[in-house]
Chains A and B, each alone.
Chain A
C-alpha cells in the first residue's frame, strides 16, 4: 500500500519556468519533509512542516518554496529553476519530529531542467 506518494515520478522543466512537485500521504502524519538529492550525493533537507508550522533550513535557496494546504498534501515550488536544481526531490513524513521517530520516504521525483 502506497503511504507516501509523489507525483510525477519524472518531471522535465525549462530553465526559469516555475515547477511544482507534489507529495501526498495516507499515514496522517504531522510532519512532512522535503529533501533534495543530487546525483551521487546524500539527501539534503530543504524544509519541513510540523502541522502548519513551516521550518526552513538556513541554506535553502529562496528559489524554493513550500505549501501544505492540509495534512495529506505538501507541495514544493521552484520559482525559477536553474540547471543546478536538477536533482531527485524526496518527500518524507513522520508522526513526530522527536529524535526517536521514523521517517517514511516517498519514491522521489526526478527533476530535469533543460
Chain B
C-alpha cells in the first residue's frame, strides 16, 4: 500500500490559516487522497478528498501538487474546534487494498486562543 508521511504535530493560532502537509511519493495514478480528522473522544470525521485537481468544500481546501506526490490540507481560519488529529490517507482502487482506509499516525493540530 502507498504510504503517507505527515508531521507529528503542528500548532496554530485561532482565526489564522493552517496548512497541513502530507507527502505520498509512492502514490499510484488511481489513488485518491483523503483527509479525515478525529476530535478528542470522537470517531473520525471526513474532511475532503481529491484525485488530481484542487478541491474546496465548506470545511477546508485540498491543494494537490502537480506530480501528486504531496498535498496540503488548508483550514482557512482555524477555530478551537479544529483541534484534532488530521489523517492523510491514500485510498486505492487496485488489489487487496481496494477502497480501504488505512490510517497512518496523523498530525496532531493544536489551536491556541
The B interface is mostly helix, strand or loop, or mixed, namely loop
Given A100-B51, A102-B49, A105-B44, does the pair A42, B31 have CB atoms closer than 8 Å? no
A102 touches B98 (CB 8 A): no
A44 touches B43 (CB 8 A): no
B103 touches A99 (CB 8 A): no
Of the listed stretches B12-20, B61-69, B72-80, B86-94, chain A binds B86-94
CB < 8 Å: which of A44, A96, A98, A106 contacts B103?
A44
A42 touches B45 (CB 8 A): no
Given A42-B106, A100-B49, does the pair A90, B99 have CB atoms closer than 8 Å? no
Q: Could you show 19 A-B contacts with beta carbons less than 8 Å apart?
A: A42-B87, A42-B103, A42-B105, A43-B44, A43-B101, A45-B100, A45-B101, A90-B44, A92-B43, A92-B44, A97-B98, A99-B32, A99-B93, A100-B91, A103-B36, A103-B44, A103-B101, A105-B45, A106-B43
